[in-house]
C-alpha cells in the first residue's frame, strides 16, 4: 500500500522546465538576467493582458517590498493591511519603518472587509494620520471585493497594493487577479500554483515603471562606466535559471487552474453533505478562484464534536498534510502592538478552518487515501 507523504501543495513540473535551464547553461546565462527572464516576463504579460507590464523578481516578498517603495511608503507611515493573510503580506511594511494597521475580513470572500477598511481610514484621519497604502489579498486564490475596496481607496485617495501571490489564474469581472491594484504582486514560491522554486513578480501599468522597478532591483546603478549610485537599490532580480523553470511552468498554467478547480469539485462532492462541514466556494459568478488550496470550515455545533484540528490530526496519522488557515496577523505575537479594525471574522475562520491537500499532481490513489480518512473521521 502507498503510504508516501501527500503534501499540501507541492511543486508540479510540466516537463519543459529543464530544457529552458539547459539552454541557460549552454549559453552561460547563469545570472539574474538573460533570455529566460525576458521570455518569462513576456509570457506573464501575455497571460495577464490588460496592457500590464511585469518585472520578474527574486520573491513575492521582494516584489511587495519594492511595490511599497514605488507607492511612496516611508518610515513613520501607516499601511492598511488585511489581517487574514500570510505574514509576508505585512513584513515589508516593517522593513520600511512603517506600521501596519490590520483590517478584518468579510465572510463571503474571506478577504478585506470594506466596512472595516473605511472605519479604519476614518479613525486614522481623525487621529491626523492619513494611511499611505492599502494591501488587499486574494487569499487562497479567492478574489477580494475589488469594486468596493477600490471605491473606498479612490474616495480617500490611497493607492492599493494587490497581493495576488496566491491568485495567479483567478479572475474578477473578466480581469485577471494581479491586474486590479495600482501595483500587483505574484509569487512563484515552491507551494504556489506555479513555481520557479523561489521567485516573484511585480505587475505595473506603465513600461517606465517596470524599467524603474528593474533599475531598483539591480542595485540602482546609474548610467556610467564605473559604479555610480544616486539612490538606494536592492538585489531583487530573478535568476535566469529560476526564470527557466517559470517559462516551462507558464506552458501548463491554464491546465493547473483546471486541475485545482477539479480538486475543489472532488472535495465538494465528498464533504458538502457532511454535518457541519462547509467547503469554501465562490460567492458570485463574476469571481473565479484558482482554488490554489481547497479550504473548509467545520461548525462544531453541527458536527457532533468533529473539528478542523481533529481532521488535521486524522490526516497526519496517515502521512497526509493538511494545515490550519492563516492565523490573523493582529493575533501574531510579532504584531501585538499593531492597530486592528474589525470584528472576529478572520479569527473565527482561523479557529474553525482547514486547508486540504490540493496538489495538482494528486493521483487517484492519493484521492482514495484522502477520501478514506475523511469518511472514517466523519463516520
Ligand X SMILES: *Cc1c(COP(=O)(O)O)cnc(C)c1O
Does 104 interact with ligand X (rule: CB under 6 A)? no
DSSP three-state, residue 319? coil
Sheet with strand 287-288: strands edge to edge:
175-176, 171-172, 287-288
Binders in 186-215 for ligand X, by CB under 6 A? 187, 189, 200
User: Is 289 or 303 the residue whose CB approaches ligand X more closely?
Assistant: 289
Q: Is 60 in the site for ligand X (CB under 6 A)?
A: yes
**Residue 25 — φ and ψ, nearest 5°?**
-65, -45
The C-alpha torsion from 344 through 77 and 176 to 17, rounded to 10°, is -100
Residue 358 as a binder of ligand X (CB under 6 A): the answer is no
Interface with ligand X includes 297 (CB under 6 A)?
no
CA dist 230 → 227, 286, 291 (Å): 10, 46, 44
Q: Looking at 17, 163, 182, 347, which residue binds ligand X (CB under 6 A)?
A: 163
Please identify, using beta-carbon distances, which residue of 61 and 295 lies nearer to ligand X.
61
Restricted to residues 244-283, the positions that interact with ligand X (CB under 6 A) are none
Q: Does 162 bind ligand X (CB under 6 A)?
A: no
Dihedral angle of Cα 39, 40, 41, 44, to the nearest 10 degrees: 120
Separation of alpha carbons 208 and 192, rounded Å: 28
Give the range of 26-34, 84-92, 108-116, 249-257 binding ligand X by CB under 6 A: 84-92
Taking CB under 6 A as the binding criterion, the range among 163-171, 201-209, 218-226, 242-250 that sits at the site for ligand X is 163-171
Residue 61 as a binder of ligand X (CB under 6 A): the answer is yes
Cα 269 to Cα 260: distance, rounded to the nearest angstrom: 15
For residue 78, report the phi and psi dihedrals to the nearest 5 degrees: -115, 140
Q: Which residue is nearest to ligand X (CB)?
A: 60
Residues 22-41 that bind ligand X (CB under 6 A): none
Q: Are residues 249 and 21 in contact, defined by beta-carbon separation less than 8 angstroms? A: no
- The answer to the question of residue 92 lying near ligand X (CB under 6 A) is no
Query: CB under 6 A: which stretch of 57-65, 111-119, 175-183, 221-229 binds ligand X?
Result: 57-65
Classify residue 226 as exposed, middle or buried by CB count within 10 Å of its CB (0-12, 13-18, 19+).
Answer: exposed
Task: Please give the grid coordinates belonging to residue 350.
Answer: 482561523
Task: Please tell me the distance from the alpha carbon of residue 74 to that of residue 295, in angstroms, as a whole number.
Answer: 36
Residue of 24, 69, 79, 88 that binds ligand X (CB under 6 A): 88
The answer to whether 90 contacts ligand X (rule: CB under 6 A) is: no
243 makes contact with ligand X (CB under 6 A): no
Q: What is the DSSP letter of 331?
A: G
Smallest separation (angstroms) from ligand X to the CB of 196: 9
Task: Single out the segment in contact with ligand X by CB under 6 A; choices: 83-91, 97-105, 248-256, 355-363.
Answer: 83-91
The sign one gets for the Cα dihedral 58, 60, 65, 68 is positive
Cβ distance to ligand X smaller for residue 89 or 109: 89
Select from 9, 83, 89, 303 the one that contacts ligand X (CB under 6 A).
Answer: 89
- DSSP readout, 172-231? ETTEETTSSSSEEEEE--TTSSS--SS-EEEEES-HHHHHHHHHHHBTT--SSSS---SS
Q: Which is nearer to ligand X, 242 or 263 (CB)?
A: 242
166 binds ligand X (CB under 6 A): yes
In this complex, which beta carbon is closest to ligand X, that of residue 291 or of residue 378? 291
Candidate segments 82-90, 214-222, 229-237, 249-257, binder of ligand X by CB under 6 A? 82-90
Q: How far is the CB of 345 from ligand X (least distance, A)?
A: 17
Measured between its terminal Cα atoms, the distance across the chain in Å is 23
**Which residues make beta-bridge pairs with 295?**
355
Distance CA 316, CA 357 (A): 11
CB of 268 to ligand X, least distance (A): 23
Residues binding ligand X (CB under 6 A): 59-61, 85-86, 88-89, 137, 163, 165-166, 187, 189, 200
Amino acid at each position: 500500500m502507498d503510504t508516501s507523504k501527500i503534501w499540501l501543495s507541492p511543486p508540479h513540473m510540466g516537463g519543459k522546465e529543464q530544457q529552458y535551464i539547459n539552454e541557460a547553461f549552454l549559453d552561460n546565462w547563469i545570472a539574474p538576467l538573460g533570455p529566460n527572464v525576458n521570455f518569462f516576463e513576456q509570457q506573464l504579460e501575455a497571460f495577464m493582458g490588460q496592457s500590464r507590464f511585469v518585472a520578474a523578481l527574486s520573491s513575492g516578498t521582494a516584489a511587495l517590498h519594492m511595490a511599497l517603495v514605488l507607492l511612496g511608503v516611508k518610515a513613520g507611515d501607516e499601511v492598511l493591511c488585511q489581517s487574514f493573510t500570510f505574514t509576508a503580506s505585512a513584513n515589508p511594511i516593517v522593513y520600511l519603518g512603517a506600521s501596519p494597521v490590520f483590517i478584518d475580513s468579510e465572510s463571503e470572500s474571506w478577504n478585506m472587509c470594506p466596512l472595516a477598511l473605511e472605519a479604519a481610514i476614518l479613525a486614522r484621519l481623525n487621529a491626523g494620520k492619513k494611511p499611505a497604502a492599502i494591501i488587499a489579498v486574494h487569499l487562497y486564490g479567492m478574489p477580494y471585493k475589488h469594486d468596493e475596496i477600490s471605491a473606498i481607496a479612490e474616495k480617500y485617495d490611497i493607492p492599493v497594493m494587490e497581493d495576488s501571490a496566491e491568485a495567479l489564474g483567478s479572475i474578477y469581472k473578466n480581469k485577471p487577479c494581479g491586474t486590479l491594484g495600482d501595483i500587483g504582486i505574484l509569487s512563484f514560491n515552491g507551494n504556489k500554483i506555479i513555481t520557479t522554486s523561489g521567485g516573484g513578480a511585480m505587475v505595473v501599468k506603465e513600461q517606465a515603471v517596470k524599467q524603474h522597478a528593474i533599475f531598483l532591483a539591480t542595485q540602482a546603478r546609474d548610467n556610467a562606466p564605473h559604479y555610480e549610485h544616486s539612490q538606494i537599490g536592492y538585489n531583487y532580480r530573478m535568476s535566469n535559471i529560476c526564470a527557466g523553470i517559470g517559462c516551462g511552468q507558464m506552458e501548463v498554467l491554464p491546465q493547473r487552474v483546471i486541475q485545482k478547480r477539479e480538486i475543489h469539485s472532488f472535495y465538494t462532492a465528498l464533504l458538502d453533505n457532511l454535518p457541519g462541514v462547509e467547503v469554501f466556494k465562490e460567492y458570485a459568478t463574476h469571481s473565479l478562484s484558482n482554488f490554489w488550496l481547497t479550504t473548509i470550515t467545520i461548525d462544531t455545533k453541527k458536527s457532533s464534536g468533529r473539528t478542523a484540528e481533529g481532521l488535521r490530526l486524522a490526516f497526519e496519522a496517515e502521512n497526509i498534510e493538511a494545515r490550519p488557515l492563516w492565523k490573523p496577523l493582529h493575533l501574531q505575537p510579532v504584531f501585538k502592538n499593531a492597530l486592528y479594525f474589525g470584528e472576529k471574522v478572520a479569527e473565527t475562520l482561523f479557529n474553525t478552518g482547514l486547508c486540504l491537500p490540493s496538489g495538482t499532481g494528486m493521483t487517484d490513489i492519493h484521492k482514495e487515501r484522502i477520501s478514506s480518512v475523511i469518511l472514517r473521521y466523519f463516520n
